[in-house]
Amino acid sequence: MGISREEACHNLLFATCFNTFGGMKIFFPNILKWIGNAGPDLHRSLAKEIRSVIKSNGGELSLGAMEQMPLMKSVVYEAFRIEPPVPAQYAKAKVDLLIESHDAVFEVKKGEMLFGYQPFATKDPIIFERAEEFVPERFMGVEGEKLLKHVFWSNGPETEHPTVENKQCAGKEFVVLISRLFVVELFRRYDTFEIEVGTSTLGAAITIKSLSKTSF
């Protein structure tokens, strides 16, 4: 397009960070809220897993190392499931179609406006046991991983990827990555923490009341 490599890279970085900021401004406090309210037992388990994996990888944190942290990954997915950062979507139907739920079928005509509210799906009690509860280990193991196809925080199944043919969040992989990094870096430094949860115009407002630094 006639611009330099440096300017192109600058614009790509700006677009990535600018678009990410809105979601993280909502989602990072949500992660703190759910993990903080889960209590010190979960905190100790996360700290133990994260630190042991990093140690076994020569003290280095890498993408490969994070893939070896099933509890951490499950906790992040569960936060996305129980409280998607952007819960509402809309679009116009491009063709006539039928939308099916567990017990009904809805006829939609081309051109009609569709509105989607993700928690209807991500907290579906037919799919998820204890759907209204934050269950840290929900997505661990073979059976837990099968549930990922029902996590729609990115405007599509977690098991699928954004393409030019769908409306899935283009930053899906990046958002998952930095959310995992957020949890990992938190428990590299601290054993546990206590919070106070308030409200803001964007969702949760978190006040950290105490932090316990690394003891092992």
Alpha helices in the chain (DSSP H): 5-38, 40-56, 63-66, 70-82, 119-122, 141-146, 172-189
Pick the closest to residue 30 from 77, 70, 73 (CA basis): 77
Q: Is 9 annotated as a binding residue?
A: no
SS3 label, residue 49: helix
- Whole-number Cα distances in Å, 160 to 16, 48, 154: 20, 30, 10
- Residue 108 identity (one-letter amino acid): V
Which DSSP helix (H) or strand (E) runs through 94?
A: none
SS3 label, residue 209: strand
- Residue 93 identity (one-letter amino acid): A
Whether the Cβ atoms of residue 13 and residue 154 lie closer than 8 Å to each other: no
CA distance 91 to 150: 20
Q: Which positions make up the binding site?
A: 169
Q: Which positions make up the binding site for heme?
A: 169
